[in-house]
Amino acid sequence: MTSGLWDAIAQGFADPFESAGDFFHLGGWVLKWILLAALVMWTLILERYWYFSRIHPAEVRRRLLMWSERGERRSWHAHRIRELLISELKIGMSATLPLIRVMVPLAPLLGLLGTVTGMLEVFDAMTAAGQSDVRAMAYGVSHAMISTLAGLVVSLLGLFFSVQLSSRVRAESERLPDLLLPE
């Protein structure tokens, strides 16, 4: 390949990063906190999907084996052990869901913080100049709108996956008592 093609490929990869840098610059300091909240939330969401695809099936098999190896399954004690096995699986399934539910409303609140600080920048620019400085006001308005937009997008995506994971936990929780039948 020629060096011109390599330069074009390198520029193609660099262009989105430059625009992301511009996006963060126009969104202000709050956008970095929204990004951090999004990273934490997505780490938790991906961890839950990993748990359901890798860990949960093995845990269910292990609990089923423990229950099937049990000789006596009719006594009060056996029923409590069955409830314990089911409860442990439910706790494992919903381990990080409360944290995800906290991150979902946190993102728009951070966006609101960005809106307020952006509008304060607009008012500060208006007072400092004694008149309307369109350039300074535009920076404050972009700060306000971009942080609001980012907070809402992060929150809506998080809400979608949070609801999806919650319904999966609910469906699996309803299925567990049928797997560990008490004779």
Q: What DSSP string describes 109-156?
A: HHHHHHHHHHHHHHHHHHHHHSS--HHHHHHHHHHHHHHHHHHHHHHH
72: helix, strand or coil: coil
The pLDDT tens digits for 2-27 are: 677 777 766 665 665 566 666 676 77
Listed by start position, the domains of the chain span 26-179
Integer angstrom CA distances of residue 11 from 20, 22, 24: 14, 16, 20
84-88, 99-103, 133-137, 178-182: lowest mean pLDDT where? Answer: 133-137
Evaluate whether 110 touches 151 at the Cβ level (below 8 Å).
Answer: yes
Angle at CA 159, nearest 5°, toward 154 and 160? 105
11 contact partners, CB below 8 Å, separation of at least 6: none
Burial class (CB in 10 A: 0-12, 13-18, 19+), 131: exposed
**What average pLDDT does this structure show over 139-163?**
89
Q: Alpha-carbon distance 94 to 89, whole Å?
A: 9
Integer angstrom CA distances of residue 55 from 37, 108, 160: 25, 32, 23
26-30, 161-165, 170-174: lowest mean pLDDT where? Answer: 26-30
Quick check: 1 pLDDT over 60? no
Quick check: 28 pLDDT over 70? yes
Which of 89, 109, 112 shows the shortest CA–CA distance to 158?
Answer: 109
Residue 69 is predicted with a pLDDT of 87
Quick check: 132 pLDDT over 70? no
The pLDDT tens digits for 30-82 are: 888 999 999 999 999 999 999 999 999 999 999 999 888 888 888 899 889 88
105: helix, strand or coil: helix
The pLDDT tens digits for 72-117 are: 888 899 889 889 999 999 999 999 999 999 999 999 999 999 888 8
Residue 133 is predicted with a pLDDT of 67
**What average pLDDT does this structure show over 154-177?**
93
Say what the pTM is.
0.79
Quick check: 178 pLDDT over 90? no
Integer angstrom CA distances of residue 142 from 121, 138, 139, 161: 10, 6, 5, 29
Residue 122 is predicted with a pLDDT of 79
**What average pLDDT does this structure show over 137-141?**
76
